[in-house]
Structure 1
Amino acid sequence: MSTETLTRPTPEAVPAVDVPTRRHRSATRRLVAAELRLLGRDPMTLTFVLVFPIVTMLIIGGSFGTTPDEVFPVNPSHWYVASYLTVVIGATGLIMLPVHIASYRERGVLRRFAASGFPRWSFALAQLVVGLVAIAIAGTLLLAVAAPVYGVPTVEDPIRAALGIVVGSVLFVSIGVLLGTLLPSARAAQAIGLLLFFPSFLLGVGGPPPAVMSPALRNIADWLPLAMANDTIRQPWLGIGNATGTLALVAALAVVATALAARRTAL
């Protein structure tokens, strides 16, 4: 009678299988993919992030001619083309994301995410990706429309302008996520978002130039987050300043807003 020797692999020979990590990564990818699919089905996105900035840019961009003067230090059309990229950022963070996330809370979707085993950070990451993708698509479309009409101004300082776009986008996407988790319903988010967006839009980005404003309005505009984000993009883009101090302030605000948003969206 023969005996067989059964050998067991040593612990070192057993491959490590990180099942929870793989499951979490797969679940997060599915969540991001689903949110991106929903992006193009939201009428608020199509209206305020894609259509509104383009239409208003086309109207106001041609209202002041193309010659620099004491009000506009550069071609006025280029001034507004550069500014309206910030309008896309503001519309995403103050209108699109708050309404989208508040509607999730209102319908209990976030509780279902938590019950389905999504990792705690997955929803915040998904909304960050959705917001940045929306800004990238809408910003590209805005410049594509502006190019044959007014021309796209040469970027004088590409690195600083790119940094301004990134930190401004992260700041307002985080603000949008935070607002969406704080407001009780989609209707409330829409009302508050519009109330925050339009004064910031008119005073700090897409309205009259600062030189024609009263001192009181200029002081208000200087401290609007959207106006500060606009300065970090427009000044290095058009070569009218480096906005170093403003960039540092916007970056600090982005860090704080991102931390608060991540804490609020923990499933």
Structure 2
Amino acid sequence: MSTKTLPARTHRSATRRLVSAELRLLLRDPLTLTFVLVFPILTMLIIGGSFGTEPDEAFPVNPSHWYVASYFTVVIGATGLVMLPVHIASYRERGVLKRFAASGFPRWSFALAQLVIGLSAIAVSGALLMAVAAPVYGVPTIEDPVRVGLGIVAGSVAFVSLGVLLGTVLPSARAAQAIGLLLFFPSFLLGVGGPPPAVMSSTLRSVADVLPLKLVTDSVREPWLGIGDGAGALIVVTLIAVGATALAARRTAL
């Protein structure tokens, strides 16, 4: 057997063990799971039924469908701005990252494990959100599945990478939670789950238009509901994803 094969297999096995351990630890964190799984669903159920079902001057489509399509990106934002930063910052506090490095894990394994965890959380939470929305408001027909898929993937990678980056630069889990929530709620209210842009002031719309979570939402919601192609937002989100991934990979090298 080639001597090069053994290290490769060892690295793959070590990475699988790290991913498996990380997933088990995530399932034991009720606060994080509650926020990522429950918060988007509860707020969607409340806001989604507040504006009726008929399009008007504020909503170009059924308002309930507007919020169902929008709230998938709330899951992305909650994962990247709250779940992952707190999770990783708590590791740094307890010296877990140093123990990973001393245990001989490949340098890239932690970043890969966090990517898998973040994307898994988004997939599960997003599917649960749609399952709850279906009997209540109905899931709107996806007008352009390819563009919607690209928006979800690019947005998920961008926010998972941002979450990893925040977790590696913030000094503690409490700081990560405070900063994460401070970043999340304005983005949530202005860019996704709050009032529609048509009723906002021009100042608030200008602020909302540059928020990364609003860009992710536009790249998903517009092609989903057939109210635009979301191309401009998708390009910016993709650039954010590339830059954030590169920075996060450098920060998490063990």
Give the TM bin, normalised by the shorter chain. over 0.9
Q: CA separation in 2, counterparts of 1:189 and 1:43? A: 17
How high is the sequence identity, in percent, across the aligned residues?
Answer: 79
Q: CA deviation at 1:44?
A: 2.8
Unpaired segments ≥5 residues, structure 2:
none
Partner of residue 78, structure 2: 91
Cα separation, 1, equivalents of 2:56 and 2:200: 16
**d(CA) in 2 for partners of 1:54, 1:41:** 21
Distance in 2, matches of 1:16 and 1:201, equals 52
Q: Give the equivalent residue in structure 2 for 1:8.
A: none
Per-residue deviation at 1:19?
1.8
Counterpart AA for 1:227: K
Deviations 1:165-205 (A, max 9, x none): 00000000000000000000000000000000000000000
Q: In structure 2, what is the equivalent of residue 37 of structure 1? A: 24
Secondary structure of the structure 2 residue equivalent to 1:73: coil
Q: Tell me which residue corresponds to 2:95.
A: 108
TM-score normalised by the chain length of structure 2:
0.98
Normalising by the residue count of structure 1, what TM-score does the alignment of the two structures yield? Answer: 0.94
Distance (whole Å) between structure 2 residues aligned to residue 75 and residue 257 of structure 1: 35
**1:252 and 2:239 aligned:** yes
Distance 1:84 1:60 in 2: 10
CA deviation after TM superposition for structure 1 residue 20, in Å: 1.6
Alignment of 1:84-163 (within 5 A): 84-163=71-150
Name the count of aligned residue pairs: 253
Residue 227 of structure 1 aligns to a residue in which SS? helix
What code does the residue aligned with 2:163 have?
G
Question: Does 2:171 align with 1:184?
Answer: yes
Partner of 1:4: none
Please name the residue that 1:200 is paired with: 187
Q: Which amino acid aligns with 2:104?
A: G
Cα deviation, residue 45, structure 1? 2.5
1:236-247 equivalences under 5 Å are 236-247=223-234
Q: Say which of 67, 72, 81 aligns to 2:59.
A: 72
> Cα offset for 1:36?
1.3
What residue is the counterpart of 1:16 in the other structure? 2
Structure 1 runs (4+) deviating above 6 angstroms are none
Distance of 2:28 and 2:48 partners within structure 1: 29
d(CA) in 2 for partners of 1:44, 1:102: 15
Given that 1:44 and 1:96 are in contact with CA atoms closer than 8 Å, whether structure 2 keeps it comes out as no
User: What root-mean-square deviation, in Å, do the aligned CA atoms of Structure 1 and Structure 2 show?
Assistant: 0.7
Amino acid paired to 1:196: L
1:264 aligns with 2:251: yes
Query: How big is the shift at 1:47?
Result: 1.7
Q: 1:216-241: per-residue Cα shift (whole Å, max 9, x none)?
A: 00000000000000000000000000
